C-alpha cells in the first residue's frame, strides 16, 4: 500500500446551512458538491484538497465531550493573519500562533461547530510547492 497524501478532510456540524455560510466565507467560494441535509464539500488550495462538512447526526461521539478528531493543518502564508481572520469570522481560540521550529508556525481555532481547524506555515510544503511551479 502506498499513501499518496491527504484527500478529503471531513468535519461535523449540526446546522449545515450555517456551516455552509461560514465556510463559504472562510474559503471565499461555494461548495462544489452538496447533499442536502447531509454533506457539503469544497475544493480548496493549491492542490484542490477536499474539505467536507457532514451532518453531526452521522458523527462519532467523543467520550470526553470535548472537540473530537485530529487537527488538520491548512498551509497558509501568514499564520497570524489567518488566525485573526478565523477569529473575526466567529471561531474561538484553541492554540495561538506558535513557532514550532525554523520554518514551522502553527495555530488552531474551534470553528463555530466545535471542530478544530489548524493553519500552518510549513517550509516543507513551500519547498514541495516550489518544485511544482
> Which one-letter DSSP state was computed for residue 112?
T
Residue 103: name the closest of 71, 73, 126 by CA: 126
* Residue 130 DSSP SS3: helix
pTM: 0.78
CA gyration radius, the chain:
15
User: Please, what sign has the CA dihedral across residues 3, 7, 53, 37?
Assistant: negative
* Residue 29 DSSP SS3: coil
* pLDDT score of 39: 94
Return all residues near 71 (Cβ < 8 A) that are at least 6 apart.
108, 116, 117, 118
Ranges under pLDDT 70 in the chain:
1-5, 60-70
Residue 103: name the closest of 67, 70, 128, 133 by CA: 128
Please name each of the domains of the chain with its CATH number. 8-131 (3.10.180.10)
* pLDDT score of 61: 63
Residues 11-29 have pLDDT tens digits of 989 999 999 999 999 999 9
* pLDDT score of 105: 93
How many Å apart are CA 104 and CA 93, to the nearest integer? 19
Amino acid at each position: 500500500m502506498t499513501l499518496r497524501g491527504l484527500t478529503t478532510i471531513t468535519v461535523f456540524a449540526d446546522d449545515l446551512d450555517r456551516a455552509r455560510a461560514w465556510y463559504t466565507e472562510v474559503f471565499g467560494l461555494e461548495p462544489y458538491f452538496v447533499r442536502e441535509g447531509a454533506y457539503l464539500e469544497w475544493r480548496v488550495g493549491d492542490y484542490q484538497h477536499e474539505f467536507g462538512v457532514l451532518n453531526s447526526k452521522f458523527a462519532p461521539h467523543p467520550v470526553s465531550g470535548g472537540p473530537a478528531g485530529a487537527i488538520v493543518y491548512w498551509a497558509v502564508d501568514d499564520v497570524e493573519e489567518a488566525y485573526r481572520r478565523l477569529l473575526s469570522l466567529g471561531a474561538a481560540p484553541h492554540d495561538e500562533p506558535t513557532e514550532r521550529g525554523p520554518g514551522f508556525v502553527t495555530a488552531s481555532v474551534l470553528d463555530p461547530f466545535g471542530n478544530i481547524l489548524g493553519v500552518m506555515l510549513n517550509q516543507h510544503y513551500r519547498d514541495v510547492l516550489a518544485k511544482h511551479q
